[in-house]
Amino acid sequence: MLILVTNDDGVRSFGLRSLASALSELGQVVVVAPDRNRSAVGHALTLEHPLRAEEIKPQVFAVDGTPTDCVNLGIHGLLPHRPDLVVSGINCGSNMGDDVSYSGTVCAALEATLMGLPAFAVSLDTDQFSTENLALATSFSKKLAQMIIQKGLPDETFLNVNIPSGPCSGIQLTRQGKRHYGESVVCNQDPRGRNYYWIGGSEVGFEDIPGSDCNALQQGAISVTPLRTNMTNEKTYADMERWSFDSIVGVI
Ligand code: MN
């Protein structure tokens, strides 16, 4: 059993260490993670410059790239063979609703799934890790890893897991919800008198959608959302078959 562990908070994150330690009870764990915090880089892949991977401890690699780079380097270069499972996290902060496309944590699991490997992302709904709030996230991650190893996951499918930081009211199978963010961009001046801009991005709420990841966390439950890599909207596809593209072909 070989498990690749990565994250987007960086190789020094307590969440990653706790996760890797727990999963090492299930098999061999290799950590390949960014050398610094790369949160919100999404599914970015580095193509314009070479990457370095420093083995800072046995089986722990710090990479000067993105979480998606780490999954690529791990599977194609650093691991002795293809892993049986890829786990990304434990992220400091939840990744629900619209977050999944921004999140380096979630997109590392997405990348592993595109490579045909079972994977899940796990995030903890907190600003700061503590021994207490990490305990639940870590033990649940280990149990879920065991389940995935036993049951497998369908092709093109991975799991996005969010863990409450307080008392846990249960485990809910959920759908991706809808978060609302403030649209503030702060404009200020640097010491040389030039404008700089800083995207605010603070959450102002979420849509009340029963069965969603956001609602589950509000109810104090662990949220498990199956996500797919193929984003084709089948309903719209069927509707758009009635569009007459032929008329455009006549113009171009
Ligand atoms: Mn992060």
User: What spacing in Å lies between the alpha carbon of 123 and ligand 1's midpoint?
Assistant: 8
What pLDDT, in 10s, does the model give residues 151-179?
999 999 999 999 999 999 999 999 999 99
Give CA–CA dist 140/138, Å, rounded.
5
Rounded distance from Cα 245 to ligand 1 centre (Å): 42
Mean pLDDT of the chain: 96
Section 188-215 average pLDDT: 92
* Cα 26 to ligand 1 centre (Å): 25
At 163, phi and psi to the nearest 5? -120, 130
User: How many alpha carbons lie under 13 Å from residue 107 in its C-beta half-sphere?
Assistant: 23
Judge contact between 125 and 163, C-beta under 8 A.
Answer: yes
99 neighbors 106 (Cβ within 8 angstroms): yes
Q: pLDDT at position 44, please? A: 98
Looking at residue 109, the DSSP 8-state letter turns out to be H
- Specify the higher pLDDT residue, 146 or 245: 146
C-alpha 8 to ligand 1 mean position (Å)? 5
Cβ count within 10 A of residue 115: 15
Ligand 1 centroid distance, CA of 94 (Å): 9
Ligand 1 centroid distance, CA of 19 (Å) = 14
Give the Å distances, CA to CA, from 228 to 7, 118, 124, 214: 19, 12, 21, 18
Q: Give me the pLDDT at residue 64, please.
A: 98
Residue 66 C-alpha to ligand 1 middle, in angstroms?
Answer: 11
CA of 239 to the centre of ligand 1 (A): 38
DSSP single-letter state for residue 103: -
Nearest of 29, 34, 32 to residue 9 by alpha carbon: 34
Distance from the alpha carbon of residue 251 to the mean position of ligand 1, in angstroms: 47
- What pLDDT score does 184 carry? 84
Listed by start position, the domains of the chain span 2-179+208-229
Kindly give the distance from the C-alpha atom of residue 40 to the centroid of ligand 1, in angstroms, as a whole number.
7
CA–CA gap between residue 247 and residue 252 (Å, rounded): 9
CA of residue 177 to ligand 1 center, whole Å? 19
Q: How far is the CA of 224 from the centre of ligand 1 (A)?
A: 18
Q: How confident is the model at residue 221 (pLDDT cuts 50, 70, 90)?
A: very high
Residues 141 and 87 sit within 8 Å (Cβ to Cβ): yes
Write down the number of H helices and E strands in the chain: 8, 13
Confidence of residue 16 (pLDDT cuts 50, 70, 90): very high
CA nearest to 67, candidates 101, 95, 30, 39: 39
Q: Tell me the CATH number of domain 2-179+208-229, given options 1.20.1440.130, 3.40.1210.10, 3.40.50.720, 3.20.20.70.
A: 3.40.1210.10
